[in-house]
Amino acid sequence: MAFERHPAWLDHAVFYEIYPQSFRDTNADGIGDFRGIIEKLDYIRDLGCNALWLNPCFASPFRDAGYDVSDYYTAAPRYGTNQDLACLFEEAHRRGFHVFLDLVPGHTSTDHPWFEASCRGTPNEFTDRYVWTDSVWEGLEGSRSLHGISERAGSVIVNFFSHQPALNYGFYRVEKPWQQPMDAPGPRATVKEMKRVMAFWLGLGCDGFRVDMAGSLVKNDPEQRGTIALWQGIRRWLDEAFPQAALVSEWGCPDRSLEAGFHMDFLLHFGPSHYNDLFRCEEPFFSARGKGSAAEFMAHYLLYREKAGAGGLIAFPSGNHDMERLARRLSPEEIRLAFAFLLTMPGVPFIYYGDEIGMRYVENLLSVEGGSERTGARSPMQWSDAANAGFSAAPPEKLYIPLDPDPGRPTAAAQQADPDSLWHTVQALLRLRRAHPALDNTGDFVLLQAEGYPLVYRRQAGEEAVTVVVNPADRPCRVAVSGRLLHTVGRGAARDGDVLAVEGCTVALVQA
Ligand code: GLC
Ligand code: CA
């Protein structure tokens, strides 16, 4: 089955991901908050984004930065109240934004009351809410579990960290007596509850969800056929109940997730997409050394596009809270070219807060809230030269994560004041994307060259075609392409008869 369309607003959506902890603190407790996000909405709009994704902001003991929910229906007090969050939705909508929350359907915190009830030896409503085996000595092959923690004669499967027990969506292939089929009452109750959670926040004004570990719900499901069917059911319900709501999956396999009914799926640092080849490997394609390759990435991308059908979108993130920042492997000049690519590809772009100013990955930090090596990509946003880079009025030692200590760290204020900055490069690219339907989310895509350098593709909509020549290597190239030079990022390009002469470290756009 294929879902044919997505809500129309996704045709032009450009997302900005906010890690709320680190964005802007308005009450000097060292932690970002909803009011801080509201304060910065104009900044995000001026950059050219029109949609937000907030990392989890629900009640949680924060042992995994909020991906360990203890109450799905209540905002984490450290960010504000449900009312404050509703106010954020309202202020965002007033400025033309759509807002995604982060839904964590696969697991809860061990502190969740459902889990506490599920641990009890006497049967109750939540006995089958989680995936339990029937002996403390037995686990599930390929998964980790918690043993000896309850009155029950069983161990419980965990999804990620050991404090994140797996909610029970059933087993695709049932092989043991304790494994429940997907249509057993326990799994069905879990699905019903997750729909209630979604309806609750959609009712309060959010516009959809980024879905955490979306491909992991059903167990013993190697081809993910069970999980795909489960999401198809949720999508059918959503189309009926909230037709304007949208979902993006953390799955990293658009050939499966889009079939499952997600409107979009991310290309990620894990999974088969080869996204890392471009920005995050030994020899990234976007390095000026010019030793990388975009060929495998493009081969996968073409396959995903074919499977996506008319409705499915592929989401290109500049980074996220789980991966190292672009600036860890790429120079400021290279990052500009990476953005010129990310913002001229079809699908839905996602900009991770701070990437628009080239924020760095902060090395050698102690792990904060389960961040481990991810912590360096979650440091406070650098707004200005004020104390704590304008992030917070708290004493520096109280900040959620220490700031990038580099005296030359980039700031939003300095870059907004400098017309040659990365910030302005991103803004100009987003304006161009908006002004040219060929470059927008649903414009056509034709790959012209992916072997070696440059990478060349054509975007098309109606009468308009724009050819994009991506040449991050530090050596010039010549490409046979007719039309007028529309825009360049980097050193420059010039027409030489039928040929476009493109400098090294340059992305050139030609309009036909
Ligand atoms: C996803 C999140 C990550 C979290 C994990 C467990 O990968 O992006 O931050 O730790 O799921 O929920
Ligand atoms: Ca705060």
Atom 4 in ligand 1: residue holding the nearest Cα: 67
Place of tokens 């954020």: 88
The atom number, within ligand 1, closest to the CA of 321 reads: 9
Tokens of 339: 């953005």
- SS3 for 242-278, per residue? CCCCEEEECCCCHHHHCCCCCCEEECCCCCCCCCHHH
Q: What's the 266 CA to ligand 1 centre distance in angstroms?
A: 14
Please give the pLDDT value at position 504. Answer: 98
**Ligand 1 pocket test, candidate residues 64, 70, 72, 352, most atoms within 8 A of CB:** 64
**Ligand 1 pocket test, candidate residues 67, 108, 163, most atoms within 8 A of CB:** 67
Please give the pLDDT value at position 1. Answer: 58
The atom number, within ligand 1, closest to the CA of 370 reads: 10
Contact 507, 337 (CB under 8 A): yes
Tokens of 449: 């060259």
Q: Which ligand is nearest to the CA of 64?
A: 1
Residue 172 CA to residue 169 CA, distance in Å, equals 9
Q: What's the 213 CA to ligand 1 centre distance in angstroms?
A: 7
**358-399 pLDDT, tens per residue?**
999 999 999 999 999 999 999 999 999 999 999 999 999 999
Q: What's the 413 CA to ligand 2 centre distance in angstroms?
A: 21
Ligand 1 neighbour 213 (Cβ under 6 A)? yes
- SS3 for 43-96, per residue? HHHHHCCCEEEECCCEECCCCCCCCCCCEEEEECCCCCCHHHHHHHHHHHHHCC
Give the other-Cβ count within 10 Å of 430's Cβ.
21
Place of tokens 């672009």: 326
The burial class, CB within 10 Å (0-12 / 13-18 / 19+), for 127 is middle
Q: Where are the beta strands (DSSP E) in 310-432?
A: 313-317, 348-352
The burial class, CB within 10 Å (0-12 / 13-18 / 19+), for 459 is buried
Please give the pLDDT value at position 257. Answer: 96
Ligand 1 neighbour 43 (Cβ under 6 A)? no
The atom number, within ligand 1, closest to the CA of 160 reads: 6
Q: Are strands 477-480 and 499-502 parallel, antiparallel or unpaired?
A: antiparallel
Tokens of 5: 């369309």
Q: What is the pLDDT along the chain (512 residues), one digit of tens a residue?
A: 578 889 999 999 999 999 999 999 999 999 999 999 999 999 999 999 999 999 999 999 999 999 999 999 999 999 999 999 999 999 999 999 999 999 999 999 999 999 999 999 999 999 999 999 999 999 999 999 999 999 999 999 999 999 999 999 999 999 999 999 999 999 999 999 999 999 999 999 999 999 999 999 999 999 999 999 999 999 999 999 999 999 999 999 999 999 999 999 999 999 999 999 999 999 999 999 999 999 999 999 999 999 887 789 999 999 999 999 999 999 999 999 999 999 999 999 999 999 999 999 999 999 999 999 999 999 999 999 999 999 999 999 999 999 999 999 999 999 999 999 999 999 999 999 999 999 999 999 999 999 999 999 999 999 999 999 999 999 999 999 999 999 999 999 999 999 999 999 999 999 99
The atom number, within ligand 1, closest to the CA of 68 reads: 12
Q: Give the list of residues 6+ apart from residue 141 with CB closer than 8 angstroms, or none.
A: none
Tokens of 329: 């492997």
Residue 255 CA to residue 261 CA, distance in Å, equals 11
Contact 88, 40 (CB under 8 A): no
Atom 9 in ligand 1: residue holding the nearest Cα: 322
Q: What's the 354 CA to ligand 2 centre distance in angstroms?
A: 19
Please spell the DSSP secondary structure of 445-480, one letter per residue.
Answer: EEEEE-SSS-EEEEEEETTEEEEEEEE-SSS-EEEE
Distances (CA, A) of 322 to 19, 24, 329, 330, 373: 11, 20, 16, 17, 9
Q: What's the 166 CA to ligand 1 centre distance in angstroms?
A: 13
Place of tokens 């924060």: 62
**Ligand 1 pocket test, candidate residues 212, 253, 368, most atoms within 8 A of CB:** 212
Contact 235, 265 (CB under 8 A): no
Residue 14 CA to residue 24 CA, distance in Å, equals 21
Place of tokens 């060259």: 449
Ligand 1 neighbour 49 (Cβ under 6 A)? no
Ligand 1 neighbour 231 (Cβ under 6 A)? no
Q: Report if pTM > 0.95.
A: yes
**243-259 pLDDT, tens per residue?**
999 999 999 999 999 99
The atom number, within ligand 1, closest to the CA of 161 reads: 6
Please give the pLDDT value at position 3. Answer: 85
Q: Which ligand is nearest to the CA of 398?
A: 2
Ligand 1 neighbour 53 (Cβ under 6 A)? no
Contact 381, 354 (CB under 8 A): yes
Please give the pLDDT value at position 308. Answer: 87
Q: What's the 123 CA to ligand 1 centre distance in angstroms?
A: 31
Ligand 1 neighbour 91 (Cβ under 6 A)? no
Please give the pLDDT value at position 380. Answer: 98
Q: Where are the beta strands (DSSP E) in 104-244?
A: 144-146, 156-158, 208-211
